[in-house]
Amino acid sequence: MMEENQRLAVWVLWYVFQGKNIDQALLLAEKELTLREVNLGAVKDYTYGVLRYGWQLKFIVKKLCKKYPSQLIENLLLIALYQLLYTNDDAFTIVSQAVNTAAKLDHIALKGFVNAVLRTFLREKDRFIQVAQQNEEARYNHPQWWINKIKHQYPLIWEDILKEAQQRAPFTLRVNTRQCSVEEYVKKLNEAHIDVVWVNNEAIILATPCSVDKLPGFDLGMVSIQDASAQLSLNYIDLFSQARVLDACAAPGGKTCHLLEHGQSIELLALDKSEDRLQRIRDNIKRLKLSTPRLSIKGVDARDINSWWDGVQFDRILLDAPCTGSGVVRRHPDIKWLRRESDISQLVAEQEALLNNLWPLLKPQGKLVYVTCSIFKEETSEQIQKFLKKHTDAKQLNSGSEQESFIKPDSFHDGFYYAVCQKN
Ligand SMILES: C[S@@+](CC[C@H](N)C(=O)[O-])C[C@H]1O[C@@H](n2cnc3c(N)ncnc32)[C@H](O)[C@@H]1O
C-alpha cells in the first residue's frame, strides 16, 4: 500500500537527516515500524528522490508552511512533493495517501493541514517551481559550500557537473570475460528482454535498473555491477603476467575482482581496514569463481606497513583511496546531506599518509595508480601535485592534460580521478 511505503520512507529520511547513511537508515526504519505490505522499490524511489532533489523540495515546503510542522510531517510533505513533481503517480491519489499517512504517523490533527498544503501546491505548482529556481541551493540541489567549491574549481563546467549530479545514475554491468564474451552476454540480455543502451569494453549500460536476480547468470558469476569509470582502473594499472600487485583499499572488491578476471597469473594482496567489508570481497571472488592460491586478503590498516608487509616490493599498487565520494552523488544522494566541508581535510590527510607510506613499497619502474570517486581537487590533482613535489623519484604518466586523469561525470560515467605514478 502506498501509505505504508510513504510511512517507511518518512522514517528512512528521519534517520538520514539524523546522520545515518541510506542503508543504515533503512534497517533502523524497518525496525521502528511494524509494516504489512511494503514495496521496498517504491520506498527507495521516494527516499532517493527526496535526497536527490531535497533542497528544491525543502524550499517549497518552507514557502508552503507558515509554521514549521515537525520533522516527520516535513518528511511526508517532501515525499509527496517528490511524487507530484517527479513521478507519474496520480496527483489526487498522492494527496489522499499522504493525508492517510499523516494520520498513521499519529498526527490525526494534521490530516487537514497536509491536505491543504498539498492542494495549495497543486494549484500554484508552476509558481513554486519558478521561485525555487531563484535560489542556488534549490536550483542545483547541493549545499551552498559544495556549489561554491565546484564553481571555483571548475569555472567552465561547474553547471554541467551540478546538473549531472542530479540525474539518476546509469545502471552499469561489467562482464566477467573469463566466463563469457561481452557479445554473448548482450545476447543473453536481449533474450531476457532487457534493453541495452551502451556497450564499451566490458561495460554494458541497461536502459533501466533491475534486481540482480533478473540478470542472466548473475549467480553463476557472469557479471557484476560496476560503474564504467571504476572499470577504467584495469586500463591504467597495465597488468602483466606474474606481476606482484597490491590492492591497498580493496573492499568490497569491485576492482580486485576486475584485476583477477584479467590477471590469471598475478600475485595479488588485497587489504582493507574494515573487517566487515572484507567478507564482501570473499563473497564476490567466490561468486565470480576467481579463487587462486596467489591471492591473499588481509584486514589491516594499509598505512601501518610494519603490521602486514613481508619486505618484497610490488610491481603495481592500486590505491583506491577513501574519499568524500563527491563524484558519485547521483548513485548515493545521501552523501550530499551527510558530508561536511570539514570532512575534506581529514580525508586528504588519510590519502596523503596512504600515498607516502605505500610509495617505498613499489619496485623501481613500478606503477602506483591513485584513484578517487571524488572530484574535489584537494583529493585529486592537488593531492598528486603535493605527492610529486615530495617524491622526486615519481613521475605522473597521465599528466598531459587534466582530461587524462579527471573523468567528468556524464550519462555513462561517474566522476572519478586517476593518476598513474611511475617510480624512476
Ligand atoms: C573507495 S573504497 C574501495 C572500493 C574498492 N576498491 C572497490 O573497487 O570495490 C575505499 C576502501 O578503503 C578502506 N580504507 C580506508 N582507509 C584505509 C586504510 N588506512 N587501510 C586500508 N583500507 C582502508 C575502506 O574501508 C573502504 O573499503
- The ligand 1 atom at the shortest distance from the C-alpha of residue 233 is 8
Query: In terms of domains, do 198 and 343 share one?
Result: no
Taking alpha carbons only, the member of 208, 243, 161 closest to residue 413 is: 161
* pLDDT, position 359: 98
Cα(63) to ligand 1 centroid in Å equals: 42
From 339, 262, 269, select the one nearest 302 (Cα to Cα).
Answer: 269
| CA 155 to ligand 1 centroid distance, Å | 31
Where residue 214 sits, what CATH number does that domain have?
Answer: 3.30.70.1170
The Cβ-side half-sphere exposure at 80, using a 13 Å CA radius, reads: 31
249 lines ligand 1 (CB under 6 A): yes
Task: Say which DSSP state 311 is in.
Answer: S
291 in Cβ contact with 260 (< 8 Å): no
Q: Which residues pair with 198 in a beta bridge?
A: 205
Looking at residue 33, its pLDDT comes to: 82
The DSSP bridge pattern shows strands 267-271 and 295-298 to be: parallel
Residue 149 covered by a domain: no
CA angle 166, 172, 176 (to 5 degrees): 160
Q: Decide: 289 and 222 in contact? Cβ < 8 Å.
A: no
Say if 151 falls within a structural domain: no
360 and 257 in a common domain: yes
Mutation to probe ligand 1, out of 21, 224, 256, 272 (largest number of atoms < 8 A from CB): 272
Same domain, 44 and 128: yes
In a domain, 325, yes or no: yes
213 and 352, same domain (yes or no): no
Please give the pLDDT value at position 224: 98
Q: How many domains does the chain have?
A: 3
The answer on 397 and 287 residing in a single domain is yes
Verify whether ligand 1 is closer than 6 Å to residue 255 (CB atom). yes
CATH number, domain with residue 275: 3.40.50.150
- Length, in residues, of the chain: 424
Distance 322 CA to ligand 1 centre (A): 5
User: What was the pLDDT predicted at 264?
Assistant: 85
Helices (H), 299-342: 334-338
364 plus 267 within the same structural domain: yes
Residue range(s) defining the domain that contains residue 259: 233-423
Catalytic residue among 249, 257, 323, 373: 373
Give me the pLDDT at residue 285, please: 97
Catalytic residue at 249? no
pLDDT, residue 401, reads 62
What is the residue with the minimal CA distance to atom 10 of ligand 1?
Answer: 322
Q: Give the model's pLDDT for residue 403.
A: 54
The CATH code of the domain that includes 103 is 1.10.940.10
pLDDT of residue 222: 98
Give the domain-ending residue among 225, 241, 266: 225
Whether 249 maps to a domain, the answer reads yes
Evaluate whether residue 156 is within a structural domain. no
User: CA-CA distances (angstroms) from residue 168 to 48, 77, 345, 401?
Assistant: 9, 22, 29, 29
Q: What is the pLDDT of residues 378-395, one digit of tens each?
A: 999 999 999 999 999 999
pLDDT, averaged in runs of 10, over the chain (424 residues): 87 97 94 82 96 98 93 96 97 96 83 95 98 98 98 98 97 97 98 97 96 96 98 96 97 98 95 94 97 96 98 98 98 98 98 98 98 98 97 92 81 97 97
Does 298 contact ligand 1 (Cβ within 6 A)? no
Does residue 163 sit within a domain? no
Residue 353 belongs to some domain of the structure: yes
Same structural domain for residues 39 and 85?
A: yes
Q: Alpha carbon of 288 to those of 239, 252, 256: distances in Å?
A: 19, 13, 11
Same domain for 195 and 69, yes or no, is: no
Encoded amino acid at 165, one letter: A
Determine, yes or no, domain membership for 381: yes
Q: Are residues 73 and 124 in the same domain?
A: yes
What pLDDT is recorded for position 1? 66
Contact (Cβ atoms closer than 8 angstroms) between residue 277 and residue 320: no
pLDDT at 108: 74
* Among protein residues, the one whose CA lies closest to atom 2 of ligand 1: 322
State the pLDDT at residue 249. Answer: 98
C-beta of residue 75 within 8 angstroms of C-beta of residue 43:
no
- Let me know whether 243 and 198 are in one domain: no
How many H-runs (helices) and E-runs (strands) does the chain carry?
A: 19, 12
Q: Which residues pair with 212 in a beta bridge?
A: none
User: Does 268 share its domain with 410?
Assistant: yes
| For ligand 1, atom 12: residue with the closest CA | 249
Ligand 1 contact, 273 CB (< 6 A): yes
Task: Give tens-digit pLDDT for 354-375.
Answer: 999 999 999 999 999 999 999 9
State the angle between helix axes of 40-64 and 111-123 in degrees (0 to 180), rounded to the nearest 10.
80
- As a whole number of angstroms, the distance between CA 153 and CA 382 comes to 11
Q: Which residue has the cell 507530484?
A: 84
What pLDDT does residue 106 have? 72
pLDDT at 64: 97
Between the CA of residue 6 and those of 20, 28, 35, 59, 387, what are the distances in Å? Answer: 19, 16, 11, 20, 49
Q: How far is the CA of 143 from the centre of ligand 1 (A)?
A: 26
**Which atom of ligand 1 sits closest to the CA of residue 250?**
6
Host H or E run for residue 368: strand 362-372
Distance, CA of 47 to CA of 333 (rounded, Å):
9
Half-sphere exposure of 354 (CA within 13 A, CB side): 31
The answer to whether residues 250 and 347 belong to one domain is yes
Judge if the beta carbon of residue 325 lies within 6 A of ligand 1.
no
Confidence (pLDDT) at 216: 98
Partnered with residue 223 across adjacent β-strands are 175
Q: Whose CA is nearest to atom 18 of ligand 1?
A: 301
